[in-house]
Chain A
């Protein structure tokens, strides 16, 4: 059973969770699929499903041992008790299901593809080759799984609530306390499994790389949390260079370092490792900017659709405008103490933030493609290129 299947069960345990909300990419991907040639898919679902075929069997990013453990059924049972509460862990659990094809496994998939694209190194003696399935070492498959475990753990820990800030609409305090408890334990459980998987790889450099990726990710999430909690549009005065640093920590470091670690596991040298790092970093950056851009690109965005005031287009918009003018625009978009996102969105769309975010997305996409050039042509390399095409295509 794959992680996806497992997590899909969670909502079944949870019972009826209300109507499912489709995420943005679902609509945009369906809308843009017409007229695409099948040879170079830019339709996201297609890119992912073709890539999954290349890496062999359907990716199962969690060891059976972990799936069959008492703790996991315990978690499922405990999460069930949260149904009907307002705890964000429920939203996270729902997200696993609906975004699983697109976000949950993306990191693992990239790690597998780049492992296959790089192939075995010349340094590697034939003795290890029996361990390969579809051109990927079993240790690289474990690594892909670990990458997903770390990502998911932080996703779960991200959804802890501050008990002192609860509103009456959040429901009883004890529900939230319980939700926090289960969220911490579930996240810790995933991290412990990641540590365990890392130890089994028997490679201290890989342990160090992934541990430092975890450290980066924690810092990145920390920044994100502290900026996103501010209400009513009081955004941090950060420039695009600070934004890039923080986004690398929260979105790029894990993938970059996992790609590098995959090369280390196949005994590739420093140069190949740094190439893989660059691909992972840049593809993650352009993926992030691409998703930041979506609220500004859709023709008919719902009026209620909010966006992150620290997303790439907004930060760039602010950079062009200067802090004072930006604060003025935010004040103008305030209505009865609440921010009118629809109005602010139009203001931002009128500026240069959106187009320069598109440029930035393409810049990172091109850097990712450049990195791939040093790998020999292969279907795995094409799949990695297609991922870049899918996230840098705007129309």
Chain B
């Protein structure tokens, strides 16, 4: 199957990625938009976003307030201020971009800031559960909750964070917002189920991978962006822009994450690399490499379970153009994200979101 057909098959799964074929002849290169869309005058999106996120982790810890010290300690473990806070940053920037677009309002509503907290809490709850599921031992350069406190307690800590997020969500007092973020919880579980199975057919396998990526990563970003847009602006067109921006950035973010699993060293990532292969998961670079090295099909189907599979697959991937192709696909998602967000009225926050989508592509950890 030609690469073009592959792209077509992706396009058929996800509408709105029609931008893909337009960029088909673009040479894969990183960050080709940075000079055009955002110049030096804009501040670092993370700095801009943090202005509204001061005290983020303290506020999250307030939501997790309980008397049991150990459970509290476990739940707060990842809210140590060392994470990237990627999701909260996008959420508050999107909130401001939508507010300005709507009525030039220069404020972030308390409810919109709550969404930033809730997004980070839902994300963290799933990290805690995922680490037990994958039997992971390190994350962000420290031991995982399950390795320190054991699996039994770790699962409860995850449930606890989820319940706190759910309470915070209810307190916003808006049933539409509850529905939007509940969709995320459902998607996260379904994504985890998709990860359990593998598909025989190559086309199906790629669609399956993209669907899993959407549910496990992009849905949270897309729906939190949508939630702040709903809170800031009544126009459904804006809600769709926010959602599509979040979805595309989320997809790009995860594709690059999958690339970094092969190209980055473990010190940079704070977690072991080639982790996905070891878990038996075939991510973007693997699926692309498989087209050049058909012997990988068998390995994918047996989930890299034989001795030597992981190393052999890793070599194939690095010899193939799997990494470049996945990066290229991530770029297409970013272009689409930029195209969407550019429909909003100009604002420093809107431009920071454009810049952020580029940072997603160039990040090294």
Contacts and interface: CB of A to CB of B under 8 A. Distances in A.
Given A78-B196, A154-B159, A160-B155, 17 more contacts: A160-B152, A163-B135, A164-B150, A177-B135, A185-B192, A193-B186, A195-B166, A195-B182, A196-B182, A203-B175, A204-B170, A204-B174, A208-B170, A208-B171, A211-B167, A214-B166, A219-B68
Nearest to A153: B159
Given A184-B133, A207-B170, A71 B190 contact: yes
Interface in B146-174: 150-153, 155-156, 159-160, 162-164, 166-167, 169-174
Contact of A212 (B151, B163, B178, B196): B163
Contacts of B151: 160-163, 180
Interface string A67-80: 00011001000100
Nearest to B175: A202
SS class, residues of chain A in contact with chain B:
helix
SS class, residues of chain B in contact with chain A:
helix
A191 interface: yes
Nearest to A193: B186
A181 B151 CA distance: 10
A367 to B, nearest CB: 24
Contact of B182 (A180, A199, A222, A226): A199
B193 interface: yes
Interface centre among A161, A188, A193, A211, by most chain B C-beta atoms within 10 angstroms, is A188
Contacts of A327: none
Contacts of B155: 157, 160, 183-184, 187
A221 to B, nearest CB: 6
A226 B157 CA distance: 13
A193 B187 CA distance: 11
Interface of A: 70-71, 74, 78, 154, 157, 160-165, 177, 180-181, 183-185, 187-189, 191-193, 195-196, 198-200, 202-205, 207-208, 211-212, 214-215, 218-219, 221-223, 225-226, 229
Contacts, number: 127
21 contacts: A70-B193, A74-B193, A154-B159, A180-B132, A180-B151, A184-B132, A185-B193, A198-B182, A203-B175, A204-B172, A204-B173, A204-B174, A204-B178, A207-B170, A208-B171, A212-B167, A214-B166, A218-B159, A219-B71, A222-B156, A226-B153
B153 A222 contact: yes
Given A184-B132, A199-B182, A215 B163 contact: yes
B216 to A, nearest CB: 12
- 4 nearest A-B pairs in the assembled complex, by CB-CB distance: A208-B170, A211-B166, A162-B150, A215-B163
A211 B152 CA distance: 21
B167 A215 contact: yes
A163 B136 CA distance: 12
B269 to A, nearest CB: 23
Given A185-B189, A196-B182, A160 B132 contact: yes
A78 B133 CA distance: 14
B105 interface: no
B263 interface: no
Interface centre among B150, B170, B192, B196, by most chain A C-beta atoms within 10 angstroms, is B170
Nearest to B189: A192
Nearest to A75: B193
A195 B162 CA distance: 10
Given A180-B133, A188-B129, A219-B68, A225 B175 contact: no
B223 to A, nearest CB: 12
Given A207-B170, A219-B71, A196 B133 contact: no
B185 interface: yes
Contacts of B30: none
A80 to B, nearest CB: 14
A188 B125 CA distance: 11
A181 to B, nearest CB: 5
B160 A219 contact: yes
A120 B166 CA distance: 28
B224 to A, nearest CB: 15
A192 B70 CA distance: 26
B360 interface: no
Given A199-B178, A199-B182, A162 B170 contact: no
Contacts of B298: none
B185 A195 contact: yes
Contacts of A200: 179
Interface in B170-225: 170-175, 178-179, 182, 185-186, 188-190, 192-193, 196-197
Interface string B36-69: 0000000000000000000000000000001010
